[in-house]
Amino acid sequence: MSNPFSRTSVHPNPRASATLSVLFAGHSQTEPEHRMGPQKLDHFLIHTVAEGKGWYRCRDRHYDLGEGDSFVIFPGEMYVYESDKERPWRYRWIAFHGPDAERWLAAAGVDALHPIVRGGSEEALRAMRAVDGAFAKKSWTAEWEGEGWLRLAFAAWARANRPAGPAAGVEPRSLAAVEADRAARWLQAQQSDPSVTIARMAAELGYHRTHLTKLFKRETGMTPVAYLQQLRIERASSLLAEPLSVEEVALSVGYSDPLYFSKSFKKLTGQTPSAYRRRVRSGV
């Protein structure tokens, strides 16, 4: 066992209004039979074990924990934990609060009755170490770094705790629905790019173009080309209320040819862009 030590780095400039804010992070090699509690906290605190053994008790439930395990202390819950006599814990911890905290833990399958996560420790420990380092340096970006790394740790705990995905009772989506949604979001992200093609989308998403087109139409009721055109025209309708020329609107939504844009706009709306703009400005 290494010599016992304990270090804590506190957030240098926390925001009270943050929906999820890290308070502090730390690292410790505990002494044999090191005990904390019984006591209560007013924030969330997660420990992830890097080495050694110990136990944690909450709501009269006892948990034996070792390398790779994490235990969560919930605010207002009485708890106690203790490291092993022969192989005491070395662990890292991270404390946080905010209205999103319990929701994120619940999504990962963690609550006061299920406060243990077995797995995901490598990524969680890396995240805790990064937060510890950012806080120790008193970085002005500590708020973003702390929250970002905490979310990555949450992702690791969620994958370990719920490898099959959301809890039972949440209606699972078919693979086709998931992939159609992914394709739709890809098109949303690329709608202003005049060079975008369905072939490129299919290649980036890992599908044959014909297969993806059929899947998309079956799930959404329209082809990817029609969906992309609808996205662009809806966006153009909003931009036509702005002080932009028709040519500028066309370029903004991925049409390099203003004439083709006008034809496409009229086909979907029944009006030319100029006529639509006049109607919007007149309040009719």
The answer to whether the pTM exceeds 0.85 is: no
CATH class of the domain whose range is 5-161? mainly beta
- CATH 2.60.120.280 placement within the chain: 5-161
User: Among 26-30, 57-61, 139-143, 268-272, which stretch is predicted with the lowest mean pLDDT?
Assistant: 139-143
- CATH 1.10.10.60 placement within the chain: 175-282
Cα–Cα separations (whole angstroms), residue 4 to 16, 29, 49: 34, 5, 15
User: Among 72-76, 96-100, 156-160, which stretch is predicted with the lowest mean pLDDT?
Assistant: 96-100
β-bridge partners, 73: 45
Label residue 166 by pLDDT band (50, 70, 90).
low
First to last CA, the chain: 79
Q: What is the spatial distance between Cα 132 and Cα 137, in angstroms, rounded to a whole number?
A: 9
CATH superfamily to which 175-282 belongs: Homeodomain-like (1.10.10.60)
Other beta carbons within 10 Å of 11: 21
